[in-house]
C-alpha cells in the first residue's frame, strides 16, 4: 500500500492498528527531532522573537499602532500556536521560550532540585485553569491585546513563574502542573492528527528507562513522563528528548483519526472537563463584546465595561456548564466499570471549543494584519512601509469563521455517533440522541448569532 493511501486511511479509520508511523515513512523527521541542536535552533528563534517582543513592548512606543510587540504576540504568535494544536499537539511547548531561563539555571546547578510536592500534582490543574481564566479576563478588560507594556509584562510574568519553579523543583514543573497556556495546549492536543506514542513491545524489555531518567550528559523527560509512560496527548511536549535516549527505537509519531483519543477516553480528562465549558462560555462572551448589541447590553445594565464583561463571562461559563450537565443526563451514562466516571458531552464539544478559539484568534489576525507593515514603518521611521496598509472585509472572515465552527459541530455529531454505535450501542434512547444533537446545534447557533 502506498504511504499516502495509508495516511488517508489513518486519518479516517477508527482502527488504531491503521495508524501510520511518520518516523518510518519520513526518517528525516525522526533525525530532526532527535538531534538536540535542531531544537536548539528552533528555541533560539523563539527566544529572539520573545526578547524582541519584550524589549519593544517595554521601551517602544506606547501606541499599539506604532509598536510591533502587540500584533506579533496576539496576531501572529498566538494564532500560530492555536493552529499548531490541530497538527502537532503540544509541540510548541517543546520550543516555548518561557521555561528557558529556568532550564539555564538548572543546568548550572542553581536549583534546589526538590521533588514536586503532592499538592502541586493534585491541585495544579485547578490553579492553571484559574490562571487561564484570569489571562482571558485581563486580556479583554485591561486591553492586554492593545497594550505593548501589558503584553511584555504578561510574558515576563509567565517567565518568572516558570523560573521560580525551576529553581525550587527538578524538571519543568511549571510546564507540567501550572502553566495555563500548557494546560489549554494539552487539552487541545487531544484532537491533533498526530500522537507521540511508544512501541510498548519494545519498552517491555527496557532495563534503563533512560527516556525518563536521562543519562550522563543528556536530560531525561522534562515533564517526568518518559516515552514509555505516554498514553495521551495531554502532557507530552513532543520535545524529542527521549528519541536521543532510547536505544530500542520505541518512540513513534503516529498519524491518526483526530477524534480517536476523544472517543477512547470519553471525557475522563479533568483538564478538559473544566477548560471546555470555560472556553466556550468565554468565547461567546468575547465575540458578543465585539457585537453592536453589547453597547445596548451595557446601557441596560448601567455598569462599566469590566463589570459587564465579567458578568457575561460568568453567565457564559455557567450556561455552558449547565448544557453539558443536561447533555450528559440525556446521554444517560456517566460511569463505566472499566474506567470510572466520565462526562460524555466534554469530548463531543471539544472540537467546537477549540475551533472557536481558532476563529477568535484568526479574527484578531484579520483585523490587524493590514496594519502590520505600517506599524513597522511608524515605529522605525520607514516611510514606504507606512503606505502599505490594507484591510480585510468582515464578511469573508465571518463566512470562514462559520465554516470552521460548522466543522467543529459536525465533528461533535460524529463523536456522539461513534460513542452510541460502539461502546454504548443500544444504551442511548433515540429521542435523547436527537436531544444531544439539538444541544450541539444550539451552541453552534449561539456562536453564529454573536459573530454575525
Could you read off the pLDDT of 53-94 as tens digits, one per residue? 999 999 999 999 999 999 999 999 999 999 999 999 999 998
Q: Kindly state the helix (H) or strand (E) to which residue 97 belongs, with its residue range.
A: none
- Spell out the alpha helix ranges (H) of 290-382: 293-301, 305-331, 345-368, 372-380
Q: Which of 27-41, 121-135, 144-158 has the lowest mean pLDDT?
A: 27-41
pLDDT digits (tens, 9 = 90+) for 226-240: 999 999 999 999 888
- Could you tell me what percent of the chain has a pLDDT over 90? 74
pLDDT for the residue 268:
80
Average pLDDT for the chain: 91
Number of H helices, E strands in the chain: 24, 5
Residue ranges of E strands in 317-390: 335-336, 340-341
**Mean pLDDT over residues 109-128, rounded?**
90
Is 217 a residue whose pLDDT tops 90? Answer: no
Question: Which has more pLDDT, 333 or 169?
Answer: 169
Distance CA 6, CA 10 (A): 6
Question: Which has more pLDDT, 355 or 17?
Answer: 355
Kindly state the DSSP code that residue 116 receives in the 8-state scheme: P
The answer to whether residues 151 and 142 touch, using CB atoms and an 8 Å cutoff, is no
Strand 252-255: give its sheet, edge to edge.
20-21, 252-255, 194-197
pLDDT for the residue 283:
96
Of the candidates 127, 148, 139, 128, the one whose C-alpha atom is nearest the C-alpha of residue 55 is 148
pLDDT for the residue 40:
82
pLDDT digits (tens, 9 = 90+) for 121-136: 888 988 998 999 999 9
Q: Which of 13-17, 169-173, 195-199 has the lowest mean pLDDT?
A: 13-17
* HSE-up (13 A, CA, CB side) for residue 98: 27
The answer to whether residues 195 and 254 touch, using CB atoms and an 8 Å cutoff, is yes
Burial of 18 (0-12, 13-18, 19+ CB in 10 A): middle
How open is the CA angle 208-212-216, to the nearest 5 degrees?
65
Q: Kindly state the helix (H) or strand (E) to which residue 89 belongs, with its residue range.
A: none
Is 339 a residue whose pLDDT tops 70? Answer: no
Give the model's confidence band at 258: pLDDT under 50 very low, under 70 low, under 90 confident, else very high: very high
**Mean pLDDT over residues 431-443, rounded?**
96
Q: Which of 35-44, 97-106, 230-239, 334-343 has the lowest mean pLDDT?
A: 334-343
Is 155 a residue whose pLDDT tops 90? Answer: yes
Distance CA 265, CA 272 (A): 11
pLDDT for the residue 312:
94
pLDDT digits (tens, 9 = 90+) for 158-173: 999 999 999 999 889 9
Give the model's confidence band at 219: pLDDT under 50 very low, under 70 low, under 90 confident, else very high: confident
Is 337 a residue whose pLDDT tops 70? Answer: no
Helix (H, G, I), strand (E, B) or coil at 191: coil
pLDDT digits (tens, 9 = 90+) for 375-387: 999 999 999 999 9
**Mean pLDDT over residues 327-338, rounded?**
83
**Mean pLDDT over residues 358-385, rounded?**
95
Amino acid at each position: 500500500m502506498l504511504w499516502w493511501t495509508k495516511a488517508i486511511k489513518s486519518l479516517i479509520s477508527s482502527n488504531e492498528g491503521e495508524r501510520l508511523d511518520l518516523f518510518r515513512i519520513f526518517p528525516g523527521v525522526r533525525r530532526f527531532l532527535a538531534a538536540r541542536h535542531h531544537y536548539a535552533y528552533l528555541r533560539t528563534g523563539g527566544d529572539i522573537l520573545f526578547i524582541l517582543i519584550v524589549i519593544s513592548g517595554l521601551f517602544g512606543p506606547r501606541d499599539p499602532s506604532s509598536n510591533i510587540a502587540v500584533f506579533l504576540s496576539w496576531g501572529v504568535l498566538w494564532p500560530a500556536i492555536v493552529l499548531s494544536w490541530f497538527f502537532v499537539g503540544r509541540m510548541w511547548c517543546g520550543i516555548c521560550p518561557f521555561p528557558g531561563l529556568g532550564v539555564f539555571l538548572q543546568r548550572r546547578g542553581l536549583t534546589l532540585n526538590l521533588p514536586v510536592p503532592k499538592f502541586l500534582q493534585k491541585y495544579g490543574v485547578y490553579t492553571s485553569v484559574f490562571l487561564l481564566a484570569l489571562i482571558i479576563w485581563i486580556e479583554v478588560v485591561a486591553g492586554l491585546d492593545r497594550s505593548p507594556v501589558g503584553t511584555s509584562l504578561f510574558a515576563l510574568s509567565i517567565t518568572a513563574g516558570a523560573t521560580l519553579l525551576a529553581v525550587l523543583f527538578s524538571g519543568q514543573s511549571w510546564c507540567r502542573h501550572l502553566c495555563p497556556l500548557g494546560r489549554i495546549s494539552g487539552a487541545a492536543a487531544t484532537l491533533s492528527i498526530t500522537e507521540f506514542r511508544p512501541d510498548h513491545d519494545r519498552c517491555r524489555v527496557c532495563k534503563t528507562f533512560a527516556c525518563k531518567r536521562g543519562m550522563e550528559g543528556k536530560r531525561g523527560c522534562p515533564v517526568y513522563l518518559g516515552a514509555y509512560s505516554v498514553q495521551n496527548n495531554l502532557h507530552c511536549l513532543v520535545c524529542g528528548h527521549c528519541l536521543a535516549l532510547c536505544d530500542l527505537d520505541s518512540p513513534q509519531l503516529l498519524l491518526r483519526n483526530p477524534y480517536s483519543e476523544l472517543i477512547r477516553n470519553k471525557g475522563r480528562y479533568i483538564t478538559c472537563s473544566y477548560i471546555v465549558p470555560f472556553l466556550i462560555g468565554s468565547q461567546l462572551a468575547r465575540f458578543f463584546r465585539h457585537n453592536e448589541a453589547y453597547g445596548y447590553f451595557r446601557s441596560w445594565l448601567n455598569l462599566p465595561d469590566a463589570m459587564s464583561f465579567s458578568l457575561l463571562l460568568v453567565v457564559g461559563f455557567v450556561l455552558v456548564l449547565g448544557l453539558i450537565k443536561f447533555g450528559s443526563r440525556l446521554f444517560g451514562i456517566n460511569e463505566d466499570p472499566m474506567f470510572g466516571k466520565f462526562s460524555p458531552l466534554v469530548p463531543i464539544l471539544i472540537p467546537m471549543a477549540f475551533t472557536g478559539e481558532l476563529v477568535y484568534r484568526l479574527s484578531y489576525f484579520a483585523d490587524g494584519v493590514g496594519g502590520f507593515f505600517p506599524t513597522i514603518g511608524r515605529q522605525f521611521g520607514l516611510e514606504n512601509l507606512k503606505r502599505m496598509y490594507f484591510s480585510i472585509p468582515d464578511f469573508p472572515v465571518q463566512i470562514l469563521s462559520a465554516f470552521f465552527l460548522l466543522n467543529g459541530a459536525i465533528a461533535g455529531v460524529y463523536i456522539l455517533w461513534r460513542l452510541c454505535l460502539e461502546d454504548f450501542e443500544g444504551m442511548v434512547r433515540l429521542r435523547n440522541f436527537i436531544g444531544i444533537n439539538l444541544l450541539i446545534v444550539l451552541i453552534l447557533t449561539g456562536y453564529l448569532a454573536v459573530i454575525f
